[in-house]
Structure 1
Amino acid sequence: MNALKKYNFDDETIYKNRWIIQFVLIVVPFMGSLDASIVNVVLPCIKKDLNINLSLSSLIVSSYIVTVATTIIIFGKLGDLKGKGRVFLYGIIVFILGSFLCSISPNITILIFSRIIQGIGASIVMANNQGLTAIVFPENERGRALGMSGSAVALGSILGPALGGFITTYLTWHFIFLINIPIGIISFIVGYRTLPARNSTTDVKLDKSGASMFFVTIFVLFSSLLLSQDMGFGNIYVDLGFLLGFILLFIFIRFENKLEEPMLNTSLFKIKSLSFNLMCAFIYYFISSSINLIIPFYLTDTLNYSQAQISTIILVNPLVMFFIAPISGYLSDKIGPKKVTLTGIIIIICSLFLMIQFDENTAKIFLISSLFIFGFASGTFNSPNTTLVMSTVPSEYLGITGSINSLIRNLGMASGTSISTSILYHQMSKLAGYKVEDIVNDSFVYGMKSVFVVLLILSLIAFIISNIDRKLNHY
């Protein structure tokens, strides 16, 4: 394994304050997770209040996602050049500003513009969060710290729907953004006093041409992925978008390889352990987003559960993650992250074997047990895999590596949602004998099983990749 160049832990102030710093590093991901889950819940209320159609209301979500995806690598590089702590604090300020503007938006145009600002703030924070964790915590505590971050994200997902329901019942949708402001201000004050906000120690400037090319490339690719969710793969605009995106990506890589100080050092991907663990991360988030998309429709349209039952069952996955992630992080510090990561993948495989058995008569206990096992697997896999990713590069690349990891997460989730939707509708159409454009109960289970088979194959590929990494790097 390529050893991480050690950060100077002689800075006693940073080491002494590491758990206070961790408060800031987990609160901000918590806000992001909470915000995402609440927005999805209150979207119908925003649609009604602003008198907009479904297409425009979906831009409230997609504008945020695309903004994060297109800028996160750029801000990761800035963190490496200008100091991760300093850039992270700027990110909190921008996120607070975006949240405030969202809360006072009188129409959809200003709301989408405000969501873009909020997305920039979230992108800055996400790009430098993991790198700061790797700097602040010594290697024997890093897994535990990343596990706590995973629990914070899970907790945000748990609280989001309940808080969203409370807000829509007693308050207006504007409060879903207002709640970010006091949390953000407290995080900024604590972070300003404790974060390692060092000035730049290099004269290297940001590769602006590369940053611009990267922005356009990821914008085209992510927009095509989001469009495919409505139009489907095979649509001429979606296919042309992907073609253009991959051409731009090829040009970007060729351009960056010619520079002495590129924005994205593509030689990082020659570190086999980094590439292997990023591939595993992509597969996990692909699987997770696919399950999160399909299960609510299965509970609603096939099993005919009430909204209260659905809300309770959906909470199983993040609730289990909340408790397991810190334990997983602690174990990875004690016995090594690769062993824990492989265990997580094995449990994912087991959970998918169970989900393939889902049909019109699945017992509730079997359903909940399967989701419990997947939640256990998610909590087991996440933080050790992130530890592996962040421990394979020199310390001057921690910011860019953390942002690449976050981009892979977003890419995996977007790809999982789009591709699993396409598989689902293709298989339903195949069974029905005509093109299906909505949920058809008679063929939904057939389509769902097909998706789960694909996810199972992907999980087996992840296990093979992770095992190759283990043997090559002697974990």
Structure 2
Amino acid sequence: MSGSVSPPDTAGRVAWGTPAARWMLTATVLGSGMAFLDSTVVTVALPAIQQDLATGLAGLQWIVNGYMVTLSALILISGSLSDRFGRVRLFMVGVTVFALASALCTFAPTLEWLIAGRVVQGVGGALLTPGSLAILQAGFREKDRARAIGAWSGLTGVASAVGPFLGGWLVQAGDWRLIFLINLPLAVVVLLIAHFKVPETRDTSATGGLDYGGALLGVVALGGITYALIQWGAEGGTVDVWVGAVIGVLALVVFLVVEARGRAPMLPLGLFRSVAFSVTNAATVVIYAALGTLLFLLVIYLQEVGGYSPIAAGAASLPLTLLMLTLSARSGKLASRIGPRPQLVVGPLLLAGGFLLLSSIGPDATYLTQVFPGILLVALGLSTTVAPLTATVLASAPERHAGLASGVNNTFARGAQLIGVAAIPALAGIGGSSGDGGGGTAGLAEHFGTAMLILAGLAVVAAACALALPRGRMPGAEETGEETAPEEGEIAVPAVGPTPRFCGVSGPPLRSCPGSSAGEVHGDGPSGGNAQSR
């Protein structure tokens, strides 16, 4: 790395407010923001892509899920890779892969090429997003880490909020291919800053093997199951669908065996001996399956059935991001005082109420009177639920595995969105190929309400899961800086840093652990792999 980086503090890390700190934040925010932005603008562009490439709902599902398959399967191991080979190096590799895949998406002549580009984008996203947090955690001195993570979280939250407007404007004023093209200049800027201005860090004590087999099996399992679910909705129970299902299920079984017996598993199954850990991850799965399906179907419904413009359809879900930006920290603080269970019951019930309201919208629905009330309830439900959900996941795992617990939870959330988008439209009766006479989304107008009712049912299941949590108040570790022993039935929460300023709509929130050993990061999944190398 270049010697032009401003002098770090005596521990070898940079201080807040220095030029080195600003460069580090700029690189990590732009890199991660590129991935966050892409996830929102792609959804807005789906109807335009459908028309241009003459695809059906199955094709649109693959555009979303091709990215999620590789992202979900690889995000856990990426932390280990960055620790072993260098955090800046892996971050730059992720940005490069993401940019090359974006170029492929930009110039994709067919649907198949576009899906291939999205699959490769998922690989890049799995490397760059956790890597950006690892750079901040290892690069900033301990007393400034929480501030840096908070700034990163808030600024990437802004990218998520801008995404619907930018995506809608690019589609409406230009071409859907521009939503991928904008990643290329951003990637060049990020790579230049990272190479010349950000010092490299790595975990020199990392030993042991990496779970490459587990990562590969995860991709095959998720890919096979997703293929079977999507094609079942489009084609019915054909031979190809059954073959995909068998391959996916067999890969999943082998994955579980490998993880149970491996010396350095990507997913240590022992974590699930904790009832609270298992329950909160089960709630995560059903909540994010519902959320992912809502974000996928709503923007298509509003444009194709409701006649909304791309900008208006993209902006329809903006209250989700704004309320989570505003309320996440308050929700986390409330849970620390009263315990997580009340919010983890009430929040999903608010979600269910929002889905019920959305189930009644029709082709001529006006936004303020018919769409917005349901979106508002969903936003309040998420804001109530997500921060205490992740705090409980962290509290229910040993403190040394806090990063791994967060990574597992984030992986479950993204995998749940993948399965939800693949399965729920077919269960609701929405589907068909490009030649179905309905624009490739047969049944969308008739069965959108049915899909929302299914999502409401999932939200109720999440509330029921929360009832299995023990009663009790979280100890005030954040206020005292000490860990106090919980009374019987309480959930102990280790001192894991400040409540996150932003809880991402596409995944659980990020948590910084300032008390971690040097070079360790606990957050949006970086580091499940840290546990592997210990």
- Relative to structure 1, is the Cα distance of residues 374 and 396 closer, same or farther in structure 2, using a 3 angstrom cutoff? same
1:217 aligns with 2:221: yes
The one-letter code sitting in structure 2 at the alignment partner of 1:230 is A
Contact 1:77–1:400, Cα closer than 8 Å, also in 2? no
**What are the Cα deviations for residues 299-339 of structure 1, in whole angstroms up to 9, with x where unaligned?**
578xx74414x964763543342343354236636863984
The Cα of 1:35 is off from its aligned counterpart by 1.5
Counterpart pick for 1:262 among 262, 265, 277: 265
Partner of 2:518: none
Distance verdict in 2 for CA 1:307–1:195, change over 3 Å? farther
Among candidates 51, 68, 75, match of residue 78 of structure 2: 75
Structure 2 CA distance, aligned partners of 1:74 and 1:115?
A: 20
Amino acid across the alignment from 1:35: D
Change in 2 beyond 3 A, CA 1:118/1:295: closer
Q: Where do 5+ consecutive residues of structure 2 fail to align?
A: 1-8, 431-440, 475-488, 494-534
Residues 59/282 of structure 1: CA separation in 2 closer, same or farther (3 Å cut): closer
Q: Give the letter aligned to residue 347 of structure 2.
A: I
Give 1:349 shift. Answer: 0.9
1:409-429 deviation digits (Å, cap 9, x = unpaired): 221112222343234229xxx
Cα deviation code 1:122-153 (max 9, x no counterpart): 11124445666776697998599469637735
Written as runs of structure 1 = structure 2, the 5 A alignment for 1:113-262 is 113-128=116-131, 145=149, 149=153, 152-153=156-157, 155-191=158-194, 193-194=197-198, 197-231=201-235, 237-238=240-241, 241-262=244-265
Matched, 1:346 2:346: yes
TM-score, normalised relative to structure 1: 0.75
Give yes or no for contact 2:102–2:180 (8 Å, CA) kept in 1: yes
Instruction: Extract unaligned runs of 5+ from structure 1.
Output: 1-8, 427-436
> By percentage of residues, which structure has more helix?
1
> Are residues 1:281 and 2:284 paired?
yes
Counterpart amino acid of 1:175? Answer: L
- Counterpart of 1:336? 336
Paired residue secondary structure (2:258): helix
Contact 1:207/1:261 (<8 A) preserved:
yes
1:200 shift after superposition: 3.6
SS at match of 1:356: helix
Contact 1:66–1:223 (Cα < 8 Å) also in 2: no
For each residue in 1:397-451, what CA deviation from the matched residue of structure 2 results, as whole angstroms up to 9, or x when unmatched? 566545433321221112222343234229xxxxxxxxxx93286x647625642
2:315 counterpart letter in structure 1: L
- Is 1:473 aligned to 2:476, yes or no? no
1:359 match: 360
Task: Check the 8 A contact 1:321/1:376 in 2, yes or no.
Answer: no
Alpha-carbon separation, structure 2, partners of 1:474 and 1:146: 24
Distance in 2 (alpha carbons) for counterparts of 1:98 and 1:10 = 40
**What is the CA–CA distance in structure 2 between the aligned matches of 1:278 and 1:138, rounded to whole Å?**
30
The one-letter amino acid of 2:74's match is T
Tell me which residue corresponds to 1:458: 461
Partners of 1:127 and 1:400 within 8 A in 2? no
Distance 1:57 1:298 in 2: 13
Structure 1 equivalent of residue 308 of structure 2: 307
- Provide the identity percentage: 19
Greater Cα offset, 13-22 or 377-386: 13-22
Q: How much does 1:168 deviate?
A: 3.6
Structure-1 residue corresponding to 2:419: 415
> What do the CA deviations read for 1:176-207 (whole angstroms, capped 9, x no partner)?
22211333344445555457622442232323
Structure 1 contact 147–327 (Cα < 8 Å) conserved: no
Distance verdict in 2 for CA 1:156–1:119, change over 3 Å: same
Partner of 1:4: none
Shift of 1:91: 1.4
Q: Which residue of 2 aligns with 1:3?
A: none
CA deviation string 1:350-401 (max 9, x = no partner)? 3423542553688853642231121133234334434544566568756654
Indicate if the aligned counterparts of 2:289 and 2:421 stay in contact, CA closer than 8 A. yes
Amino acid across the alignment from 1:352: A
How many residue pairs get aligned? The number is 450
Alignment of 1:389-400 (within 5 A): 389-390=393-394, 400=404
Q: By how many angstroms is 1:173 displaced?
A: 4.0
Does the aligned pair in 1 maintain the 2:341–2:470 contact within 8 Å?
A: no
Closer/same/farther in 2, CA of residues 58 and 210 from structure 1, 3 Å limit: closer
Paired residues of 2:15 and 2:144 also in contact (CA < 8 A) = no
| Kept in 2: contact 1:151–1:326 (CA 8 A) | no
